[in-house]
A and B are shown apart, each in its own frame.
Chain A
Amino acid sequence: MSVNITLKLFAQYRDGRFKVEQRVYKCGTTPQDIMDELGITEHRLPLGVLMVNSKHEKEEYVLQEGDILALFPKVGGG
C-alpha cells in the first residue's frame, strides 16, 4: 500500500531540490522520513515550521493519502 504526497519546500530548502513535487511513499511514512530522504538534516538545515494540510504537525506524524507537506527552515537571527 502506498500514499500520494505533495511536498512543498520553502526558502533554503529549495536549493538543489524543488519547490513542489508529488511523490509516492509507502504507508506509514513520516515527515522525518522524507526529510532524511531529502538530506534536510537538523545539523545543516534546521527545521522551522512543519505543516500538513496547513496545520502544524510533528515530524512523527504518519502521512495519509493526499496530504500536502510543507517544510520551512528554522529562522532565528536578529
Chain B
Amino acid sequence: MKKNIEQFLQEFSVDTFLPILKEKEAVKLYNLSFQEVEIIALKNNITPLRYKRNQSTISIENQLKLLNSHVAIVGCGGLGGHVAEMLTRIGIGNLTLFDFDIFEEHNLNRQNFSNYNCLNKEKVLVVKEALELINPSLHVKAFVKKFDPFKDMNILQNVDMVVDALDNPKTKLDLAFTCKEKNIAFVHGAIAGMTGQFTTCNTLENLYRDGDSGIEKSVGNPSFSVTFAASIQSAEVIKTILNIGNTLKNQILLTDLVENEFIIL
C-alpha cells in the first residue's frame, strides 16, 4: 500500500530536514508541485534542508508564512535583481517581477544575474530563470513591461508587499502613492554613489520634490551600494511580512558608506 505523503516525508527526512532529492521524489510520487510538498512538510514540522541555516532566525511557522507570501518587485536592475535573489533564498514562495529593459554592458558592474552571455536579453526573463534554478518551489511571474502605477495595480491584487526597485523618482513617487492608497505594504529604496535612502509604507514627498532624476546621474551606482541597499529592503520585507522587530514605517533611513553614517529621520 502506498504511504501517504506525511508518512513519506517523515520517513525520508533526516533529523527533521527534508533533502531536495526526496522532495523531488515526493513531487513525482504524489503529483504535487515542489511548493505543495514543502507546505505539507512544514505543516508537519519538517523543514526543507535548503532552509536549515535560516533557523532559528526564521521559525518553522514563519518559514511556512514566507512560503505562502507573495512579493512584487518593480524593477529588476540593480536593487531588484539582488532583492529577488535574497527573497528567493530565504524562502518567499511567490514573486512577481516587472522590468521592460534588457541587460546592457553598463549594467555589469552591479546588476545581479547579468553576465556576458545575457547581454541584450530581457532582464526579468533572465532573473526568473536564475531564481527557479535556486529554488524550484518558488513561483515566479515575470512581466516584460514598464509598470504603470496608475494602470497596473490590478496585477498586484494578491500581493503582500511591493518592493520599489525602480530607477527614477517619478515612478517611485507614483508607486508609493498608489500603494498607500490601496493599503499595500511597500518598501522604498534608492541609491546614488555610496549613499542610500529607505522607508517602508510611506509616500515619498519628503524625499522627492519632483520626479526629476537625483544625484545618481552624476555619481553612478557601485556594486556594494546596490547589494547593501537590497539587503536593507529585503530585511524590511521579511520583518513586515512576519511582523517582527522594528521596520522603517513612518521613518526614513539615510545611509552614507563613505562616512559610515546611518541616520534615521
Chain A residues packing against B (C-beta within 8 Å): 10-12, 42, 44-49, 51, 54, 56, 72-78
Does the CB pair A73–B214 fall under 8 Å?
Answer: yes
Selected from B192, B252, B263, the residue in CB contact (under 8 A) with A77 is: B192
Does the CB pair B207–A45 fall under 8 Å?
Answer: no
Q: Which residues of chain B (38-58) have a CB below 8 Å from chain A?
A: none
Report chain B residues within 8 Å CB of A49: 197, 206-207, 252, 254, 265
Does the CB pair A46–B212 fall under 8 Å?
Answer: yes
In the complex formed, the residue of B with least CB distance to A51 is: B265
**A73 to B191, alpha carbons, bound, how many Å?**
11
- Does B172 make an interface contact (CB < 8 A)? yes
- Does B88 make an interface contact (CB < 8 A)? no
- Does B189 make an interface contact (CB < 8 A)? yes
- Asked if A72 meets B254 with Cβ closer than 8 Å, knowing A44-B218, A48-B208, A49-B206, the reply is yes
- Asked if A48 meets B191 with Cβ closer than 8 Å, knowing A10-B261, A76-B169, the reply is no
Does the CB pair A78–B214 fall under 8 Å?
Answer: no
In the complex formed, the residue of A with least CB distance to B79 is: A78
Report chain A residues within 8 Å CB of B168: 76, 78
Q: 22 A–B contact pairs at CB < 8 A?
A: A10-B195, A10-B256, A11-B195, A42-B212, A45-B215, A49-B206, A49-B252, A49-B254, A49-B265, A54-B265, A74-B192, A74-B213, A75-B192, A75-B197, A76-B169, A76-B190, A76-B192, A77-B190, A78-B164, A78-B166, A78-B167, A78-B189
